[in-house]
């Protein structure tokens, strides 16, 4: 359950959580015409707080909106300022940030016409997406029966609401079958990503991840690739078959929500030693050091604020 906060930023104003409402005929509710982001704020070791790669997330939100044809009534800097204001209003030194741009109520039909474009930013406390134990023990996943989007079926570079019905189907199937998460294959049968995460595998000290042909490149993915390269590891974008994952030394998910979550089992096959591997643990330590402001080399990824 989402832990309720005091305020939500809605169309330029901070309003009480329970008053951030929309009409049941809101276009996005019926047709998925919205875009969103998932962002995290962390409490830093110096007593301040920081939002991880905030400006880049807001740039991607605006890019997603452009891809599906939404004209956002706020610019990036206004959205950045609104995010910090919302975190402060809710007294959050750390938490999750969910910006949403969506087509509001008005014309009803596939074409949204002149319906208003609305924007909200919600923030709330949130721990590890797949559970605290998952960061150490790893999770069990299955390759989904649902295929990831083709690039010309849905706009795969837009983080759009409608795209995620595909993810809901995959995640629901995986959980119903007793797994924690799903791995989705692309229309050609190669590994794409999780239901809401990017995926990496390690083989012989080389770090591999699928190319961005038809997946959304996450900022945690990009950060992990940068950190691994800076630590001296070879990083390759490569087309991966599911059988390559089975015999990998390590496999892990990355994402704003998942952070760096090891995978201990895929399709009833134990991966590596069946727990978090050495590179995943090293990258976890490096990543959490960065987001907590303990590594000045990556301070440019952090947007600091004080509650």
The catalytic residues are 159
**Could you tell me if 16 and 263 are in contact, meaning their C-beta atoms sit under 8 angstroms apart?**
no
Name the nearest CA neighbour of 210 among 184, 171, 232.
184
- 3-state SS, 3-42, equals CCCCEEEECCEEEEHHHCCCCCCCHHHHHCCEEECCEEEE
Contacts of 124 (CB under 8 A, 6+ apart): 2, 3, 4, 5, 90, 92, 95, 96
**Could you tell me if 115 and 276 are in contact, meaning their C-beta atoms sit under 8 angstroms apart?**
no
Between CA 252 and CA 276 the distance in angstroms is 8
Most distant CA pair in the chain: distance in Å? Answer: 57
Between CA 69 and CA 160 the distance in angstroms is 11
Between CA 239 and CA 242 the distance in angstroms is 10
Which position has the token pair 């909106």?
65
Between CA 302 and CA 299 the distance in angstroms is 5
259: part of which helix (H) or strand (E)? strand 259-266
113 beta partners? none
Between CA 258 and CA 262 the distance in angstroms is 10
């Amino acid at each position: 359950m989402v832990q309720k906060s005091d305020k939500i930023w809605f169309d330029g104003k901070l309003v009480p959580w329970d008053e951030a409402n929309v009409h049941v005929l809101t276009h996005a509710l019926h047709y998925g015409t919205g875009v969103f982001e998932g962002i995290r704020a962390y409490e830093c070791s110096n007593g301040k707080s920081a939002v991880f790669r905030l400006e880049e997330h807001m740039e991607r939100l605006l890019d997603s909106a452009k891809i599906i044809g939404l004209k956002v009534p706020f610019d990036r800097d206004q959205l950045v300022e609104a995010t910090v204001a919302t975190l402060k209003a809710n007294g959050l030194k750390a938490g999750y940030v969910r910006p949403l741009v969506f087509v509001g109520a008005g014309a009803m039909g596939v074409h949204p016409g002149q319906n208003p474009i609305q924007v909200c930013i919600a923030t709330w406390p949130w721990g590890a997406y797949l559970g605290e134990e998952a960061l150490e023990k790893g999770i069990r996943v299955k390759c989904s029966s649902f295929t990831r989007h083709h690039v010309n079926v849905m706009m795969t570079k837009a983080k759009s609401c409608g795209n995620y019905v595909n993810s809901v189907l995959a995640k629901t199937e995986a959980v119903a079958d007793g797994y924690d998460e799903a791995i989705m294959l692309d229309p050609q049968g190669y590994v794409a990503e999780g239901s809401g995460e990017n995926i990496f595998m390690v083989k012989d000290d080389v770090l591999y991840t699928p190319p961005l042909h038809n997946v959304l490149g996450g900022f945690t993915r990009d950060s992990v690739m940068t950190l691994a390269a800076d630590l001296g590891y070879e990083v390759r974008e490569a087309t991966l078959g599911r059988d390559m994952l089975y015999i990998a030394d390590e496999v892990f998910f990355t994402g704003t929500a998942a952070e760096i979550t090891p995978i201990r089992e895929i399709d009833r096959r134990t991966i590596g030693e069946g727990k978090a591997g050495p590179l995943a643990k090293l990258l976890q330590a490096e990543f959490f050091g960065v987001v907590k402001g303990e590594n000045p080399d990556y301070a440019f990824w952090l947007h600091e604020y004080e509650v």
